[in-house]
Amino acid sequence: MAAESAKEFEALEAQATTLLDVFKRAGYEQVAPSIIQPADIFLDQIGEEIRSRTYVFTDLTGDELCLRPDLTVPVSRLYLERHPDARTEARYCYNGPAFRFQPDRDNQAHPREFRQAGIECFGAKDRESADVEVVLLAVEAVRAAGLKDFRLRFGDIGLFFALLDALELPERWRLKLHHYFWRPAGFHALLFNLAKGERPDSNGQAAALARTLDRDNPEKSEELVARYLDQQGLPLAGNRSLSEITARLLDLLGDLRAEPLRKEVATVIDYYLAVAGKPSEAVKRVAMIAKGAGLDIDAEIDACVRRFDRLSKSGLDLSRATFATEFGRSLEYYSGLVFQIEVGDERDARQIAGGGRYDGLLANIGAPREVPAIGSAIHTERLLAAVERKA
């Protein structure tokens, strides 16, 4: 067993050298961000799915820390340490461990400690060229490591947000749909209820309590919630404070009072999110849906077309690639192009690498301005396993 582990470690190290050589030849500087990170930054940025699986702990000084669940945020923090004004263009590459809780401890495809090798590109003003560069570099890297048979899956979160912005719908529901995009089940449940003219969670004790509150007077509302909890003999739920519980109830009150969502608007969103197919065909279907709904998202559609044209002209075979409007990955900081390198058939697709654009992330973690940014991460254990299966 020990010899087998040593052999796998050596294979991973050799593979990492190959991957990093590809990245460094392309002008990416190798960096090694800290494994232990401030928990609040991660928990605010990475999204519900990853947040619930992050290892969080408190050190002896009382600071809440975490083991990094991915490397994009640590590399972004490193960039800001070096360039606090966030005006400098920079390209970094890395290889190292990340940590996430896995319910199935025996699933070797999803270990709690796993390695990622990847790239992050910051400050490139030509976003389109940077998108193409990162996709091509991720593909070149996995090929250099020996992976020959794979598929590409693409999505574009920015295109979906452009659609939402172009639709005539109450701003509250626009923000809610933005927020729920990364949780498909919750998103579709919300859209279904809104299309029927129903408000989310409109029945029950929480809604009844919310209707007694005053959105213009949070302090008075908090007093009413405290009195209700005391009268009912209810303790504070979990780790939520009284102010957090009140804020959630006031948010529910806003939902209850918001204007309804027109059915035709919900239908357009449904049609849009059902689009999936070869990139050129899928983008044409999106254009048809937008035109039929009288929406002007031509600039975003044209950007999609140009991106795929440039990838194809650069020699990337898109004949097996898919563009799916609902594909948005699990990390909530993505804001534009997203992509994934997969092996296996459609019913049993296994992700080897993925990435995307995250222009808002650096401003959210302390940058004085929004920074154009895109990156990609390769799951090196999965890559090695896929290569060895084909050997």
Confidence band for 173, pLDDT divided at 50, 70 and 90: confident
Residues 43-51 have a mean pLDDT of 70
pLDDT above 70: residue 237: no
C-alpha–C-alpha distance, residues 352 and 359, integer Å: 23
Contacting residues for 178 by C-beta, under 8 A, at least 6 apart: 161, 164
Regarding predicted confidence, which is higher, 75 or 389? 75
Q: How many CB atoms lie within 10 A of CB 139?
A: 22
- What is the average per-residue pLDDT within 135-146? 98
Task: Tell me: pLDDT of 104 over 70.
Answer: no
Model confidence at 376: pLDDT above 80: yes
- The counts of H helices and E strands in the chain are 16, 12
- pLDDT for 328: 82
Q: Is 344 left (phi over 0), alpha (psi -120 to 50) or beta?
A: left
pTM of the model: 0.85
Mean pLDDT of the chain: 88
The answer to whether 354 and 377 are in contact (CB under 8 A) is: yes
In terms of Cβ atoms closer than 10 Å to its own Cβ (0-12, 13-18, 19+), residue 197 is: exposed
Torsion angle of C-alpha atoms 33, 36, 41, 46, degrees rounded to 10: 80
Distance CA 354, CA 351 (A): 7
Report pLDDT for 83.
97
Q: Given 3-state DSSP classes, what are the helix, strand and coil percentages for the chain, each rounded to the nearest 5?
A: 50, 15, 35
- Strand, coil or helix: 117: strand
Name the burial class of residue 149, with classes exposed (0-12), middle (13-18) and buried (19+) by CB atoms within 10 angstroms of its CB: exposed
Q: What is the pLDDT of residues 186-227, one digit of tens each?
A: 888 888 888 776 666 666 788 788 788 888 888 888 888 888
User: Highest mean pLDDT range out of 149-163, 199-213, 321-335?
Assistant: 149-163
Beta carbons of 69 and 50 less than 8 angstroms apart: yes
Amino acid 2: pLDDT: 47
Determine the pLDDT at residue 238. 53
Of 133, 127, 98, 143, the residue nearest 28 (C-alpha) = 133
Q: Is the pLDDT of residue 331 over 80?
A: no
Give the pLDDT confidence score for residue 108 in this predicted structure: 56
> Looking at the predicted structure, is the pLDDT value of residue 86 above 90?
yes
Domain boundaries, the chain: 2-163+272-390, 205-257
Q: Does domain 2-163+272-390 have CATH number 3.30.930.10?
A: yes
Gap between the terminal Cα atoms of the chain: 22
Q: Look at residue 297 and tell me whether its pLDDT is greater than 50.
A: yes
Residue 107: the pLDDT is 54
3-state DSSP assignment of residue 114: strand
Distance of alpha carbon 377 from its chain centroid, rounded?
A: 13
Give me the helices (H) in 211-297, please. Answer: 218-232, 242-257, 263-273, 279-292
- What is the model's pLDDT at position 101? 84
At residue 34, what is the residue type?
S
* CA 236 from centroid of its chain's CA atoms: 31
Q: What is the mean pLDDT of residues 268-284?
A: 95
Smallest Cα–Cα separation from 355: which of 332, 372, 378, 371? 378
Distance in angstroms (rounded) separating the CA atoms of residues 158 and 170: 19
Give strand pairing partners of 377.
Answer: 118, 354
Amino acid 292: pLDDT: 95
Band (371; pLDDT cuts 50, 70, 90): very high
Sequence-separated contacts (24+) of 298-304 with Cβ below 8 Å = 299/162, 300/156, 300/158, 300/159, 300/162, 301/159, 303/128, 304/156, 304/159, 304/279
